[in-house]
Structure 1
Amino acid sequence: MPKNPFTDVWQFLTATTADYLQLGNWRFLILALFWALLLAGIAVAFQNWREDSAQRSGRHLGIWLVRVLIGCMWFEGMLWKLPLPVSGGLQFWTEQETTRAAFEFHGTFVKDIVLPNMNFFGPIVFLAELVFAASMILGLAVRFVGVLALAYTLQLWLGIYRPGDPAEWPWSYMFLAMLMFLFVVEGAGRSLGLDAWLRRKIPAVRDGKGPIGWFFNIAG
């Protein structure tokens, strides 16, 4: 199949990319999870649009679309962290940080602490990116998760900062970090997301009452 943006999207949506195929039949479970998140995100957006006239604006729709697309990006990036506990891709790029980190202490930490314990860190990286994807697609606790994703992205930026083979452009990570920062500042989950729905439907969240209400009032 010729490679272009349309075929790439089709392969991602049908679990026929190289990252999917290496998972064997497990890819269908991962694909089902993606479609469940995407359809849930669309359903939440529709409900917000139907119930709240303030949500019916080009601004909210635009923020929603970009947020969901970034969530899809996180999900696709998560795929090559499989199979657990440590995929070959994750092992390779973690090793790259030992020699390409912007600061020596960073590379030393990865070499002496992270690499010897990849069976522990591998699943954490996978779960982190899955949480980032789910949060962005659903619009849930976007401010809180966005801060975590921002820190995670900056670690990647500094960890693969120096030139190497294969080459990585540091600005790629900085652009993603800036997007996550804007999601945090804007409270992007309040644009057709679960954060908007919770603030409208759950008085404790709207008023910041109780631990759960306080958390979601701040996190969303």
Structure 2
Amino acid sequence: MINLFDSHTTRLDTTLYKVCVVAGRLLLAYLFFTQLFWKLPPDFGCGEDFAFPIPAEQNHWDANGSGGLCYWMGLESIFASKPRQVLVTDMRPAGLPKIGLNITPLAELNAAFLDNVVIPQIRITGWLIWLAEFSIFLSMLTGAFTRFGAIVSLGVSLQLYIGLANIPRPFEWEWSYGTIIALSLVMLGTAAGRTLGVDAWLRRKLAAPAERGNRLAKIGLLLT
């Protein structure tokens, strides 16, 4: 077992750890809080017509009166088949090559799922997307079931990364989404709700039932 705090750990070390974990958790909560309002139910910012952008020869796409969630989903679909790299490092100024990872196949799979499942049922799937992000906000804000919240956050941010990272119009910087992925991983690994969060209390309540073999309690411990 890895021990984060050894015999040389000072009070400053533990304080810094707690402050950084809680700050990261609250920042992730606020990030998702800011994203709740441009896609509010029941129309998710799409408007009454639920219009989506359409492909166009000039400038890649035409807005087609779209907005909110429909706008961004449409862009994911339109740019899916266009060659796109992520994790790009341009080393040419140093006489070295430009490197990156081609994610076009993943983007096409993502678009197929959107086009065949999510977009046709946007009045339902829009609710699922909004509630998923709202649950991340609540989880990180209160420190309740933070590992579950981190898993949901990781799924949401990975999907956005595949669908939107480095698209050319509007340019979506890949690390806007990559940073959310990284922060979600930190929240998952540190079980951030155990520090000044509801999870610390939940784990005390779940410990005894889990030891007696209660499956729900064991699952609860895994997610906190």
TM-score normalised by structure 2 residue count: 0.67
Q: Answer whether contact 1:199 1:205 (CA < 8 A) is retained.
A: no
Is the strand fraction higher in 1 or 2? 2
Describe how 1:1-220 pairs up with structure 2 within 5 A: 57-88=15-46, 89-101=68-80, 102=104, 103-204=107-208, 207=211, 209-220=213-224
**Are the structure 2 counterparts of residues 94 and 144 from structure 1 closer, same or farther at C-alpha, using a change threshold of 3 Å?**
same
Higher mean alpha-carbon deviation, 122-131 vs 161-170, is at: 161-170
TM-score normalised by structure 1 residue count: 0.69
Aligned partners of 2:212, 2:36: CA distance in 1, in Å? Answer: 33
Q: Give the deviation of 1:199 after TM superposition.
A: 2.0
- Partner of 1:165, secondary structure, is coil
The aligned counterpart of 2:54 is: none
One-letter identity of the residue aligned with 1:108: A
Once the two structures are superposed, residues 148-168 of structure 1 have per-residue CA deviations (whole angstroms, 9 ceiling, x without a partner) of 210111000001135232211
Higher mean alpha-carbon deviation, 154-163 vs 201-210, is at: 201-210
Runs (5+) with no aligned partner, structure 2 = 1-10, 47-67, 81-103
Higher mean alpha-carbon deviation, 198-207 vs 65-74, is at: 198-207
Q: Give the deviation of 1:194 after TM superposition.
A: 0.7
Q: Which has the larger radius of gyration?
A: 2
Is the helix fraction higher in 1 or 2? 1
Aligned partners of 2:217, 2:162: CA distance in 1, in Å? Answer: 35
One-letter identity of the residue aligned with 1:82: L
Aligned partners of 1:208, 1:215: CA distance in 2, in Å? Answer: 13
Aligned partners of 1:83, 1:64: CA distance in 2, in Å? Answer: 30
Q: Give the deviation of 1:216 after TM superposition.
A: 1.8
Q: Answer whether contact 2:206 2:218 (CA < 8 A) is retained.
A: no
Alignment coverage as a number of residue pairs: 166
- Partner of 2:35, secondary structure, is helix
Q: Give the deviation of 1:208 after TM superposition.
A: 7.7
**Are the structure 2 counterparts of residues 178 and 202 from structure 1 closer, same or farther at C-alpha, using a change threshold of 3 Å?**
same
Q: Give the deviation of 1:82 after TM superposition.
A: 0.6
Aligned partners of 2:174, 2:168: CA distance in 1, in Å? Answer: 11
RMSD over aligned Cα atoms: 2.1
